[in-house]
Amino acid sequence: MAASTTHGRRSLPPLFLLCFLCLFSSTAVADDLHILLNLTATLETPKSNLFSSWTLNNPPCQFAGITCDVNGSVTEIDLSNQQLAGVFPLGSMCKLQKLEKLALGFNSFHGTTTGSLNGCVKLQYLDLGNNFFSGSVPDISSLHKLRYLYLNNSGFSAFPWSSLQNMTDLIVLSVGDNPFDRTPFPEEIGSLLKLKELYMSNCSIEGRISPVITNLTELESLELSHNSLTGELPKEIGNLVNLWRIEIYGNSLTGKFPLGFRNLTKLEYFDASMNYLEGDLSELRFLTNIVSLQLFKNRFSGEVPTEFGEFQRLVNLSLYTNMFNGSLPQKLGSWAKFNYIDISENFLTGPIPPEMCKQGTMMQLLMLQNNFSGEIPGAYANCSSLTRFRVSNNSLSGVVPAGIWGLPNVDMIDISLNELEGPITSDIKNAKALTQLLVGNNHLSGKLPEEISEAESLVKIDLSYNQFSGEIPVSVGELKSLSSLYVQYNMLSGAIPKSLGLCFSLSNLNMAHNSLSGEIPPSLGSLRTLNSLDLSNNELSGQIPSSLSSLRLSLLDLSDNRLTGPIPQSLSIEAYNGSFSGNPGLCSSTRISSFKQCSSHPGALKIVRTILIYFLIASVVLLTSLACFCCIKNREKDRDSKSREESWEVKSFHTLTFTEDEILDSIKQENLIGKGGSGNVYKAKLPSGRELAVKHILKADFSTQRSNLSTSPMLRKDCKSSREFESEVHALSSIRHVNVVKLYCSITSEDLSLLVYEYLPNGSLWDRLHSSGKSELNWRTRYWIAVGAAKGLEYLHHGCERPMIHRDVKSSNILLDELMKPRIADFGLAKILQAGRGVKDSTLVITGTPGYIAPEYGYTSRINEKSDVYSFGVVLMELVTGKRPIEPEYGQDTDIVSWVSSNLKCKESVMRLVDSRIAEDHTREQAVEVLRIAVLCTERLPSLRPTMRRVVQMLEEAERCGPVDIAIEKDGELGVEGGKS
């Protein structure tokens, strides 16, 4: 009995312990439940069913995104990519005592983190990447068991590098794409001996790459691109034999590849582009597993190693803008499914490797600006996968293989500036995707094929400086997208096809220096978008069609033909001086000094006699009236001694169909429609129903203007508003461009200056983008506004006889006509670039509008035409994002340029920049391409910005941009895979 009792008492402690453990376990589960339920109160999500399983009736293990251990304790939280927003309470997560994984990436969490993560001592996986946090990364120094740390593109501004010393089990460290404080390469990285993946791109690392990185012998992926790294690559980098990817582009690295680099035989993807590296590529001869090699924009020299021709996995090779010489390996690209090659802008010689499309997958062949010789290999005539074929500016010769003309997917054929021969064959009918045919400056010959009209996507054709003969095909009028046609300096004959009048997109037409005959087709006058027309040095006859008077041409040249008859009055203006010389049969009715006066009407003598009689009668009446006037004047002299008569000076730049009185009557408050950079703008509606815009630049108190009329000419030329007025008149009076606002005349007196423009009913681009109540602009309209405005600025910079800078480019100075076509306006700040001073010409006066002003103002107070490019880049950002240049959401002292740059982290963040009103996927992709151009335009250094001519080219190339592979490139620029375009 005693023994039994003793035995029963001894069994109680284990039973009690079991009960205690069960109670403790249930208590822990209950605690986890409340922690998670409290979490739902702080988070926002559009997914209504995301937390539907998170209820008191369910255990935490049944919650969506939650994983538990066998005891029901929460071990993993995975809420990544769930469109969550709000301020996440990180500290409270450490109350989940068994938590090993916390994945919150690809959401919209924002603000500074609350609480510390030091309590999460069992955490092995932490992902806070791709969010919008701010401030410093929370304290993580106690997370000794952490193996995976993803903080890339999280928004944090500082990282505790010293915390890494204790994380010796780390396998992945991804902290790139964050605006961290500038710091040298962190030495703590050297202690992470198990690290396999290191992503530290775009996170403000500067100085040399520390040699401690060579301790990471397990490292497989090293990404340090887009930082401020300098100096040479560590000599011991060859010890990292497990590397299969190295990305160090967009830094300022120097020197040669170190000895031992050849040991990286597992390397597949190597991008060291956009640095200052030099020397030859001999250390790369042994990297036989290379798939993609990107070394463009460096200072490499020497020959491309012959071993590259034996690389059996190589599919991408980009070596452009270096100093390579010698010939390319002839087997280059023949082994794998080769994708693209870009070795442009080097000093390479010899033949083009013939087998790069052997597998039928090559998309881009870019070899321009070298010294390649020989013929174009015939194999490329069958490379149907090609989208770009650019071999311009070389020494290629022989006949172009016929199949090249008919490649079905090619977007651009550029073989200009070579010594190529032969005709353009009828195969061109198969080139359905071809938008640009550039074959100028060769020895091509033969007739142009009628089938060229079947290449229906053509936008630009340049056949200039060749030996083409015969007539221009009538079928060219079927090319509805054709924007530019250049056929100058050939041997073409016959008439100019009337069908050209059907090419409604045509903006540039040059047929100079041929043997064209017959009359100028009146149908050309229907080309409302035509900007330049050069038909000089032909054998054209007949009269100049009056229909040409309706065109807004920046360039018109009909010189050296056999034209006869009167020059249309609206073309007899100073802007077209020299446009008609060499046509002795022409005459002028407006006394152009170089032309004879047109013959008078046969009844002119009778008319003159009648005029003389009326003149005598009028003289008698005038003398009588004058006597009466003198009497009245003497009586009113004391009472009205201060009255003066009004004297107006009217300068017309087009034929006028209105009087100054009709314009003056419109200057009243109810007609005010806007305020420009140098004056108010009024709407004038004439009795005929025609509408005009009148800019009023005040020189004196206009309220007294009508009661105190001036009889003197303009005297106060030294006042600021007078200078602005003269600047705008000077800038606009000689301009003829479809994308620059049309100035009809100026009206001036001592106290008043008026400019009379065409009226544009759709207001400004600013109004359309940013004012409530306006109809929304779809992407197609925005795109064509961008192209048109760019062409207007291109004309100002490069097309005027005396180039000019606008100095106040902004969306409110881009006006829209009834068809939503843009016009550059408000030239109150324009400055003519003085000839001979080139790009160094500048102005010392700070002008412009905040948000659009180029950064060089801050340190030089000087601008040139590249400052216009910067401002236009801001306008492009407005078009893509729908945002204003300055918004409170950007933060203090931050504008749209900085805001966009800070979001160029990954494809997802870039796509978020696009205006939500641009809905379709394919148009959003095109918008991203335009955003890339905007980023280039807003480079901080003016020398890195493209010219407006290049901007127009890039925008036109973007028109046919389909789905693109978005990449974050050098210096935070937005790029599209594929090398040069």
SS (H, E, C) 47-60: CCCCCCCCCCCCCH
Query: Dihedral of CA 882/887/889/893: which sign?
Result: positive
pLDDT at position 328, please? 96
Asked if 249 and 970 count as a contact pair (C-beta separation under 8 A), the reply is yes
Closest to 446 in 3D by CA, of 492, 397, 400, 494 = 492
Residue-wise pLDDT for 440-451, tens only, equals: 999 999 999 999
Is 970 one of the annotated binding-site residues? Answer: no
In angstroms, the CA 320 to CA 145 distance is 45
Single out the catalytic residue among 808, 826, 868, 895.
808
Q: From the CB of residue 588, how many other CB atoms can be counted at a distance below 10 Å?
A: 19
In angstroms, the CA 464 to CA 469 distance is 12
In angstroms, the CA 202 to CA 198 distance is 13
φ, ψ of residue 562 in degrees (nearest 5): -125, 40
pLDDT at position 686, please? 85
Residue 712: CB partners within 8 Å, gap ≥ 6?
A: 644, 647, 749, 750
pLDDT at position 592, please? 57
Quote the distance between the C-alpha of residue 675 and its chain's center: 28
φ, ψ of residue 460 in degrees (nearest 5): -135, 130
Cα-Cα-Cα-Cα torsion 846, 849, 851, 855, nearest 10 degrees, comes to: -20
Task: Quote helix, strand, coil % in the chain, to nearest 5.
Answer: 30, 20, 50
Asked if 146 and 140 count as a contact pair (C-beta separation under 8 A), the reply is yes
φ, ψ of residue 808 in degrees (nearest 5): -150, 50
| pTM metric for this prediction | 0.65
C-alpha triplet 911, 916, 921: angle, nearest 5°: 55
φ, ψ of residue 61 in degrees (nearest 5): -65, -15
What angle do helix axes 865-881 and 948-958 make, rounded to 10 degrees?
A: 30
Structural domains in the chain plus CATH codes = 569-597 (no CATH), 649-758 (3.30.200.20), 765-976 (1.10.510.10)
Identify the residue whose tokens are 């008077």: 549
**Side-chain-facing half-sphere of 580: CA atoms under 13 Å:** 27
Element (H, E) at 143: none
Closest to 441 in 3D by CA, of 372, 381, 376, 489 = 489
Q: Which residues of the chain have pLDDT under 50?
A: 1-12, 15-25, 602-606, 608, 637-646, 700-720, 834-846, 962-973, 975-981
CA distances (Å), origin 842, targets 207, 866, 944: 35, 10, 17
In angstroms, the CA 327 to CA 318 distance is 16
pLDDT at position 637, please? 46
Asked if 364 and 342 count as a contact pair (C-beta separation under 8 A), the reply is yes
Active site residue 808: yes
pLDDT at position 327, please? 96
Tokens of 978: 């594929």
Quote the distance between the C-alpha of residue 41 and its chain's center: 43
In angstroms, how far apart are the furthest CA atoms of the chain? 159
The DSSP secondary structure of 221-286, one letter per residue, reads: EEE--SSEEEEPPPGGGGG-TT--EEE--SSEEEEPPPTTGGG-TT--EEE--SSEEEE-SGGGTT
